[in-house]
Structure 1
Amino acid sequence: MQRSTGKGNRRRAAGLVAFASAMAIGVGAGVAWAAVTDNIHPTANNTGTCHNDPDGGDGRVTCRTDNATVTYYMDSSGEYELETPDRDAVRSTMTNDYAPTDLTISYDSSPTFSGSAETDIIYQEGSTNLSDSSDGVTWCNDAVDGSSYGCDQQYVRIRGNGHYTRGLSCHETGHAIGLLHGAQASPALSNTNTALGCMVTPVSSGTGLGSNNRDNINSVF
């Protein structure tokens, strides 16, 4: 995969400066950057280093996708195969939530699991290594060498039997992109603050990305 050039970080920093300046002179100044809080890794309240987790068991959210071109695959056979409603939920969030951002989203029907051009997000349906209190988990299996936050390939695993909704798919995809819960944002918010869009915890079935998450994604990518 193409590695990050750092341009996104410079753009993000410029956006944050512009946002702070606009807030200082008041609302109604025509601000493009309208995020309520910075909730894309890394933040002042979430500085952990991205690491490889072989099975999704540790629950740490310390990574973000390594570039703006995001490919994804939904398991189509075996233990973690997504059924039709699950696939529809993923397509819904990719089409309605993430494709309208500055990310370039595409489905990879012939996924790659190793090397320099891995498929970015692999979706699974199942409960392996999910805690009793969790409906889904996102983890990295290929942290980018030399980067404190980038991941080349991430997995999303969500329980079946109706748990695979647009809202939860949006939430776990957000973690793969790099979005965080409210407590990890800067300034920190309640995890239930509606400004977090689908990154609220818990998330309702039809909740979309929301403007705060969109603006944070666009500021980086």
Structure 2
Amino acid sequence: MPPAASRSSRSLRSQRRRAGIAVALSGITVVAAAAVTWAAATDNLVPTNNYNMGCLTGMAGGTVCRTDNASVTYYMDSGGSNKLEDIDKATVRTVMAQEYAPTDLTISYDSTPSWSGGAETDIYYAEATVPGSDEGLTWCNDNSPGAFKCDQQYVRIEGGGHYTPGLTCHETGHAVGLLHGANASPTLPNQSSTLGCMKKTSGFADGLGANNRENINANY
């Protein structure tokens, strides 16, 4: 997965947000600032203070890019050598419905995918061999204006039972810009349970978890 890089600007989103609360004192209404603690333990959605690599295209690009808008469409390969079996399709649908749809992203399936133009399908899932020792890989096929954004991303996961809920959640996380712990700010161990399915090696049934949900909602 992509290497770490440094970033000096942008304050941590894991700091407290401020909310205004109206308080009546002696007939005078004043606005007091109340601290609201954000649940996220770390900022792990690109860009972060420890990851500011621009979005590169191609499998060899090696970068994590965020999708270009909150309305995420996806397509699962249904023919040829890269098609997903029915059980794998069911896993993707479940992950999208149970993990990503409850966030501020709007998730929908695109049965007639677009591969070019201004309305490309955002995420394309395929089943095929992944280079090296990894079982899944995500890369940008078409980056979009904005240094960290991608208009269409490819998710490839190997067959033979590797399309697990945890790995599907993990690679989809990369497709919306989520990072490993070493690239987060502040950094976390890559296998920290706080990272949910974004642990470097995800568990079979790992879900997004509160930290990833908070980061998605804060950015989209």
Taking only the aligned residue pairs, the percentage that are identical comes to 55
Question: C-alpha distance in 2, partners of 1:20/1:99?
Answer: 27
Residue type of the alignment partner of 1:136: G
Q: Deviations over 1:55-90 (max 9, x none)?
A: x245x1331100100000000001110001111111
Q: Which residue of 1 aligns with 2:173?
A: 174
Query: What is the CA-CA distance between 1:177 and the residue it aligns to?
Result: 0.3
TM-score (norm 2): 0.84
Q: Which residue of 2 aligns with 1:39?
A: 44
Question: C-alpha distance in 1, partners of 2:60/2:88?
Answer: 22
Q: Indicate the RMSD between aligned Cα atoms, in angstroms.
A: 2.0
Structure 1 ranges of 4+ moved more than 4 A: 12-17
Residue type of the alignment partner of 1:39: N
Question: C-alpha distance in 2, partners of 1:20/1:131?
Answer: 46
Query: What is the CA-CA distance between 1:33 and the residue it aligns to?
Result: 2.3
Question: C-alpha distance in 2, partners of 1:34/1:20?
Answer: 14
Task: Give the match's secondary structure for 2:69.
Answer: coil
Question: C-alpha distance in 1, partners of 2:127/2:84?
Answer: 5
Q: Which residue of 2 aligns with 1:112?
A: 114
Unaligned stretches of 5+ residues in structure 2: 1-9, 20-33
Query: What is the CA-CA distance between 1:133 and the residue it aligns to?
Result: 1.1
Unaligned stretches of 5+ residues in structure 1: 1-11, 22-28
Question: C-alpha distance in 1, partners of 2:18/2:83?
Answer: 45
Q: Which residue of 1 aligns with 2:3?
A: none
Q: 1 or 2 for the larger relative contact order (CA 8 Å, sep ≥6)?
A: 1
Question: C-alpha distance in 1, partners of 2:64/2:74?
Answer: 20
Q: Which residue of 1 aligns with 2:134?
A: 134
CA contact (8 A) 1:19 1:34 kept: no
Q: Which residue of 2 aligns with 1:149?
A: 148
Question: Number of paired residues?
Answer: 197
More helix by share: 1
Between structure 1 and structure 2, the one with the greater Rg is 2
1:20–1:183 Cα change, 3 Å: farther
Q: Which of 92, 101, 121 is the aligned partner of 2:123?
A: 121
Q: How does 1:1-221 map to 2 (within 5 A)?
A: 16-19=14-17, 31=36, 33-53=38-58, 56-58=59-61, 60-127=62-129, 130-145=130-145, 147-221=146-220
Question: C-alpha distance in 2, partners of 1:32/1:79?
Answer: 48
